Structure 1
Amino acid sequence: MGGIGKTTLASFVFNRVCHEFEGLCFLDNVREKVQKYGINHLKKELVSKLLDIKDVEKDVVSFIMPIGITDFAKRRLRRRKVLLVLDDVSDSKQLEDLCGGHDWFGLTSRIMVTTRDKHVLNRADHIHEVKALNQDESLELFKLNAMKQNYMDTEQVEQSMRVLNYAKGIPLALKVMGSFLCGKSKQEWKSQLLKLEKMPHVEIQNILRLSYYELDRHDRNIFLYLACFFKTVSEEQQ
């Protein structure tokens, strides 16, 4: 799911262990950049960072060809212990184009991939599924962004529970809502939370909508059918 914390977790691990590697590259928003710039643009960025090439365009013929990364570049990469993060990969072809086989890089290199589609990771050695936050974790994250402190009075805690119910443990939703409500009065909190029950926050919806767009037509129809079904049941119960 979008906003669940995949990129945040990958960034934390990258910064924690990067000093152990000779070549470093964190390619963020792979799906979006491939659509916008093309796969060759990302290959140039990847090779230039891992091999510390300052003038990418000058050396591009030596390292990147239309068919992919050159053998010359691969030989240099195999001699380096690298840490590579590919963030938000949407299909296995992107993964193949950007890092090929495990023999592209030196021994003890590490490749981390974040994706919304587990099928992309069919060749991964290990898969970690990022879970939603529990209630205590959600409250802590929300307070950090909404109050800039740990203290909340009873009324604020009650209002916060409505936010937690809305966010469903998604860190992005908690951060956005916390920042949105920060500095507002208790009355404004009540007003905004009532509004959210009828009209979801735009920034949160835009992130979650990407997960829907990644579905094929069949799965989209199933999703819409179930959404309409539960909406009808809810309205009948009211």
Structure 2
Amino acid sequence: MQHGGLTQLQNTLLSEINRGSKSKVVNTHQGKSLIENLLRRKKILLILDDVDELEQLNNLAEVEWIGEGSRVIITTKDRGLLESYGVKFIYKVRKLNDDEALELLSLNAFGRNEPPDNYFELVQRVVAYAQGRPSALNCIGSHLRKKSINRWQVILDICDSCKGEPYNDIQTVLQKSRDDWDDVM
């Protein structure tokens, strides 16, 4: 769950719905009531990214709250969460093959379809680590954009040290790389 908990998420959503208004809810029940009242009157596109708890869905976007013609897009790593919430249309993002992954990473890291020759081995290691996951490739590529080969090496050494751990949170790897890099500098 995002830093600040569910009430913070509700406050953020209310701010977006009310075009920057600074509504402050103090508990999830109050936030749920306010969101329900505001959404019933609006045709919206609501995107809930990286949802990992049913409680988030129950307090941010009950289906019967939203106005006619609205759409809700939910991203999560937990298909069962969507099924238990009653989501009818579930799209599973497919993993990229190595060529597609290399291109996506290169676009994010170098702004072009292929990496420079001196980065090719490092890029191949990142592609192997990301296992075809577009979100991981986007995240790592953006993080390494315009970074030196040494910086890439630090990231990949951390990725290697995480072997055996399931791919869960690329942000943890990137934060650890920032910390390690600060120690080196």
Same fold (TM over 0.5): yes
Q: Which residue matches 1:23?
A: none
**Distance in 2 of aligned mates of 1:48 and 1:174:** 28
After superposition, residues 120-159 of structure 1 pair within 5 angstroms as 120-122=81-83, 123-150=86-113, 157=120
Q: Aligned partner of 2:159: which letter?
A: P
Q: Which residue matches 1:89?
A: 51
**Distance in 1 of aligned mates of 2:28 and 2:130:** 45
More RCO (CA 8 Å, sep 6+): 1
Q: Which residue matches 2:75?
A: 114
1:68 CA drift (Å): 4.9
Q: Deviations over 1:28-71 (max 9, x none)?
A: xxx123xxx232232232233223362313xx59xx7745533x
Which runs of 5 or more residues in structure 1 are unaligned?
Answer: 1-30, 212-238
1:139 CA drift (Å): 1.6
After superposition, residues 26-41 of structure 1 pair within 5 angstroms as 31-33=1-3, 37-41=4-8
TM-score with structure 1 length normalisation? Answer: 0.53
After superposition, residues 142-181 of structure 1 pair within 5 angstroms as 142-150=105-113, 157=120, 160-171=123-134, 172-173=136-137, 176=140, 179=144
TM-score with structure 2 length normalisation? Answer: 0.65
1:78 CA drift (Å): 1.4
Q: CA 1:204/1:97 → structure 2, altered by over 3 Å: closer, same or farther?
A: farther
After superposition, residues 175-214 of structure 1 pair within 5 angstroms as 176=140, 179=144, 182-184=147-149, 192=153, 196=156, 199-200=158-159, 208-210=167-169
* Higher Cα Rg, which structure: 1
What is the aligned residue count?
166
Q: Which residue matches 1:46?
A: 13
Q: Deviations over 1:60-90 (max 9, x none)?
A: 59xx7745533x7634421210111111111
**Distance in 2 of aligned mates of 1:157 and 1:166:** 14
**Distance in 2 of aligned mates of 1:148 and 1:107:** 40
Q: Which residue matches 2:176?
A: none
Which sits farther off after the overlay, 121-130 or 38-47?
38-47
After superposition, residues 195-234 of structure 1 pair within 5 angstroms as 196=156, 199-200=158-159, 208-210=167-169
1:116 CA drift (Å): 1.3
Q: Aligned partner of 1:93: which letter?
A: E
Contact 1:82–1:110, Cα closer than 8 Å, also in 2 = yes
Contact 1:176–1:204, Cα closer than 8 Å, also in 2 = no
Q: Aligned partner of 2:2: which letter?
A: E
Q: Aligned partner of 1:46: which letter?
A: L
**Distance in 1 of aligned mates of 2:12 and 2:72:** 16
Contact 1:167–1:174, Cα closer than 8 Å, also in 2 = no
Contact 1:146–1:183, Cα closer than 8 Å, also in 2 = no
- Percent identical pairs in the alignment equals 30
Structure that is richer in helix per residue: 1
Q: CA 1:182/1:118 → structure 2, altered by over 3 Å: closer, same or farther?
A: same
